Chains A and B, each alone.
Chain A
Amino acid sequence: MASPLLSNTTISFSSSLSSSPLPRLFPSVSFSSIRFKSNPRRVLTVRSKIREIFMPALSSTMTEGKIVSWVKSEGDVLSKGESVVVVESDKADMDVETFYDGILAAIVVGEGETAPVGAAIGILAETEDEIAEAKAKAASKSGASTPYAPPPAPAAASTPAPPKSTPANAAPTVTEGPRKTVATPFAKKLAKQHKVDIESVVGTGPYGRITPEDIEAASGISPPKTNVGPTVVVEAKPAAPTKATVSSFAPSSLPPPVPGSTVVPFTTMQAAVSKNMVESLSVPAFRVGYPVTTDALDALYEKVKPKGVTMTALLAKAAAMALVQHPVVNSSCKDGKSFTYNSNINIAVAVAINGGLITPVLQDADKLDLYLLSQKWKELVEKARAKQLQPQEYNSGTFTLSNLGMFGVDRFDAILPPGQGAIMAVGASKPTVVADADGFFSVKNKMLVNVTADHRIIYGADLAAFLQTFSKIVENPESLTL
């Protein structure tokens, strides 16, 4: 919502190379790099002068997006840089801007609906003449539904209007001549929502205007009980347990709901988590644990804490430094056939947020010093809370850190996020009695670290060696402050 407005366009190479000035200015190689530099958000395709507005990919994990709202209505004239639609991705609400001037000829995917990434959600026409063509296209996009009614917004409504009455100062003729269609604001909204051709509806309201009820009748839906029927009360009556949940989902093999239970659909973020978790089942993961002595790290933490350094930053830095020596643990397996070695060490750190889970990324964690890292982390967390994280700030991780130590959890294992080779689960550091080689007992703070990795690319010995390095860094943490 509050995120800076990002826009970009992928102009399909076929027709635009010759017509668009951009490719001429930049050789085709750099053309694609430009595209990525300015965030590959918004995807429009040039085909003659009618462009499709695609569901943009706002993050690497996003496969579908929900239209929060259309900022513009059909028929609105858009100018370059204006936001057109608000899309809820799995991480944030984003304004999506247009990169072209034109007219929003048709909305293919309405508010509240979802569409897969890359699907056309709207049609942009360059001039009014192309609106009809664009609409035809929209109709084909949205299946067999009837073509859209002339846009209710004034900008385009003027196009079909002129023949009906001559304007100028002939006001009376407008009302007495052939009747123009008059529909109330809500009727227009409903017509758009239910894809009803408003011109075909006979108005029954005052002065023959089309009312919301007329649209509801035309679309065959029963008028919703707006504040007349106390539907909520019926539903909550304990005497009628089977009615307790509105079953709008497939009942098939699901066990019957426990009486009194409520069903809360996933938010987009939660849906993304669910999808990623299920996807992780296709990766052959294994886990290696390692106890790490943290007395030295704790002492260092006490020293640097007043300077704003957090334990998260310390651990991320230690992991990053260990990853420098074990690049395979920082690699990933994209296709099941090869290693993808990542040139940067980007540590994603899992954060629970508003009933969701997000992984802000500390980019180049091996290169930044501890203080910069801490500061960066603080900014990322604030942004995450405000839902203002940019995609590259949560989807560029090459290794994930998950810490539940602050809750007193002594050990746990984490599920590998898609696209990454390994994830480290950190437990609490606790005083532990240790016997040394000579049989002397002492008490040391020990922390159990458990790494989950993709065994297609990372083997047991790799992880063991990585953990050993990590442990050495933590036990001699002076290097972290360098």
Chain B
Amino acid sequence: MHSTSALSFSQATSVPTTNYAFHSHCPLNLRFCGLTTQAFGFSFSTHSASTRLRLSTRAPGHSNKISASPGHNGTPPTSFDYDLIIIGAGVGGHGAALHAVEKGLKTAIIEGDVVGGTCVNRGCVPSKALLAVSGRMRELQSEHHMKALGLQVSAAGYDRQAVADHANNLASKIRSNLTNSMKALGVDILTGFGTIVGPQKVKYGKVGFTDTMVTAKDIIIATGSVPFVPKGIEVDGKTVITSDHALKLEFVPDWIAIVGSGYIGLEFSDVYTALGSEVTFIEALDQLMPGFDPEISKLAQRVLVNPRKIDYHTGVFATKITPARDGKPVIIELTDAKTKEHKDTLEVDAALIATGRAPFTNGLGLENISVVTQRGFVPVDERMRVIDANGNLVPHLYCIGDANGKMMLAHAASAQGISVVEQVTGKDHVLNHLSIPAACFTHPEISMVGLTEPQAREKAEKEGFEVSVAKTSFKANTKALAENESEGLAKLIYRPENGEILGVHIFGLHAADLIHEASNAITLGTRIQDIKFAVHAHPTLSEVLDELFKSAKVKAPASTSSSPVSDPVSA
């Protein structure tokens, strides 16, 4: 994907390049000014943005080497409207903008739609509102569960519109929070669709208005993604829908087919079954929840699928989906994924397409800087620097979030944005994607960080190390038992010889909140033999992880000196 020559060059000069690259075509010069100008940048960073901008643009003048050439040859702009322009105000862009301001950069963010992007408006945020409802409905409907707690509840019902309003209100609230936080910090929010017109140059504008041209030292593409709809599927927004429509909850069908059993599909199955729908999963791979650790997906299927009003077809593609019309239901043609033969026809009330997301990179003007997308994704290196068609790095241009496809999660986008800002302010930074947790907010939740067991074993085989697995059950956790929610499993994949955590997978009550102890440990490089001594409040669900770490058998001694753990079962 990227040529080795480009990489070796970038390593040598990475700090100055990302910092003060006034003329990108001549990177060698930059080495000289890097340090001096950097000192200016930081010393004035606490002053107003405009002052800083003036000073920093003047800075090259102090460098003998630079003063001769850049001011006069004219190709890329020598003075910039902004230090950093971010195209796309989703969670990734927002995270980057906030960090940029903290680092003293004059920052603008271009947004053609609403602030907040997919996550806030059509993704994680409104779906959490629906899942909050579904979780409670599920609990209230479970007579057995209520009885076990000694509670008596008469009929549980819901008002669809009120539920939909809750989701919508939450999205608006979070959206205004995001907008306000950026405004308050002095981030300029430029409205319109952003297009890259050349190095360090962007134009933006609304349809029908003249475009405005702005320049920036560095540009981050953070345009995100849209629901991916495979060909043959006709989305009408009413009976054949994507997550965008489903989150509005305009109707609750009696029977809905969900195409795709990843995070999105699984969460919606939780919502719809709690609200009374029956669900049919259609999954192209041979098993449901293919992205999860196999043991976790097996357990999840046992808890989240089998006892519910859900059936499923695996190893099939939905090759043709026709919306309900002319008195006919939604018709889904299933084709065998291997033989490509017609397999079955389903007739349902609605179909939700949750087959993943496609990058939203059309119209970005990538051709102006000779960048060719791969299946729509913007190619980047491990520092999120954009790679052009020839395999060279495009100076001053970065791409984060769903648009680069490295890890399509809101918080991953934000982390990538922060990593980029670190780089452009002079500190090299490479984000460890294996430390980024992921969660699926079903009831109970699923969360994970790092490698799955098969991935870890494959890696171990290649690199020749040993892998061990430790597991603990929620059934032994006091808090889980108190909540009468003791179905769950936590799984730790680690290297026994040095205690390195390779992956942690949790299925159980509040798994999404529990994962961070593990992801933080991976980020900070904390080893199991050390984290073992961390104390957990009792009784809490976090003790599941405490037990998990303690049950690991690590050969390396703890680096911290602590008193030996007292034996819990001395008779």
What is the interface of chain A, defined by CB distance below 8 A to chain B?
A: 1-2, 68-71, 73, 83, 86, 95, 111, 152-154, 157-158, 161, 167-168, 171, 174-175, 180, 182, 184-186, 188-189, 205-207, 209, 212, 226-233, 236, 305-306, 308, 310-312, 315, 354, 374, 377-378, 381-382, 385-388, 403, 405-406
Contacts and interface: CB of A to CB of B under 8 A. Distances in A.
Interface of B: 140-141, 143, 146-147, 152-157, 254-255, 278-280, 295, 298-299, 301-302, 306-307, 309-311, 313, 316, 320, 328-329, 331, 333-334, 341-347, 349, 471-473, 475-476, 481, 489, 547, 551, 564, 567-571
Nearest to B279: A185
Given A232-B152, A354-B475, A185 B311 contact: yes
A414 B567 CA distance: 26
Contacts of B567: 305, 308, 310, 374, 378
Could you tell me the dominant secondary structure of chain B's interface residues? mixed
Contacts, number: 139
A312 B570 contact: yes
Contacts of A153: 311, 313
A310 B569 contact: yes
A236 B342 contact: no
Pairs of residues from A and B, 8 with the lowest C-beta to C-beta distance, nearest first: A167-B342, A230-B154, A185-B311, A186-B309, A385-B476, A312-B571, A386-B473, A310-B570
Given A1-B489, A184-B255, A354-B475, A209 B278 contact: no
Given A185-B280, A388-B471, A227 B311 contact: no
Contacts of A229: 155
A167 to B, nearest CB: 3
A381 B569 contact: yes
Contact of A377 (B152, B295, B569): B569
Contact of A171 (B140, B333, B551, B571): B333
Of listed A154, A205, A233, A305, residue having the most chain B CB within 10 A: A154
A309 B26 CA distance: 70
Given A71-B298, A175-B345, A233-B152, 12 more contacts: A69-B302, A69-B307, A167-B342, A175-B347, A182-B347, A184-B309, A209-B255, A228-B155, A230-B152, A232-B146, A377-B569, A386-B473
Contacts of A231: 143
Contacts of B568: 378, 381
B56 to A, nearest CB: 57
Contacts of B313: 153-154
A157 to B, nearest CB: 6
B311 A189 contact: yes
A68 B302 CA distance: 9
B311 A236 contact: no
B347 to A, nearest CB: 5
Given A206-B349, A232-B153, A386-B472, A154 B316 contact: yes
Of listed B152, B476, B567, residue having the most chain A CB within 10 A: B567
Given A207-B328, A207-B329, A236 B255 contact: no
Given A83-B298, A154-B343, A385-B476, A227 B569 contact: no
B147 A174 contact: no
A167 B341 contact: yes
A186 B306 CA distance: 10
Contacts of B140: 227
A1 B152 contact: no
Nearest to B473: A386
B311 to A, nearest CB: 4
Contact of A206 (B279, B311, B329, B344): B329
Contacts of B143: 231-232
A382 B489 contact: no
A158 B343 contact: yes
A1 B571 contact: no
B349 A310 contact: no
Contacts of A403: 571
A365 to B, nearest CB: 15
B475 A387 contact: yes
B334 A154 contact: yes
A387 B334 CA distance: 41
Nearest to B287: A82
A305 B571 CA distance: 11
Contact of A378 (B280, B329, B569): B569
A233 B154 contact: yes
A154 B282 CA distance: 11
B155 A311 contact: no
Contact of A2 (B309, B342, B471): B471
Contacts of B154: 230, 233
Contact of B331 (A73, A152, A175): A175
A2 B489 contact: yes
B245 to A, nearest CB: 21
Contact of B475 (A70, A189, A306, A386): A386
Contacts of A385: 473, 475-476
22 contacts: A2-B473, A68-B302, A69-B302, A71-B298, A153-B313, A158-B343, A171-B320, A184-B309, A185-B311, A188-B311, A206-B329, A206-B349, A209-B255, A229-B155, A232-B153, A306-B564, A310-B570, A312-B570, A315-B571, A374-B567, A381-B569, A405-B571
Contacts of A308: 564, 567
A158 B344 contact: yes
A68 B278 CA distance: 22
A236 B152 contact: yes
A1 B473 contact: yes
Contacts of A388: 471, 473
Contacts of B476: 354, 385-387
Of listed A2, A171, A174, residue having the most chain B CB within 10 A: A2
Contacts of A174: 331, 345
A111 B305 CA distance: 14
A382 B551 contact: yes
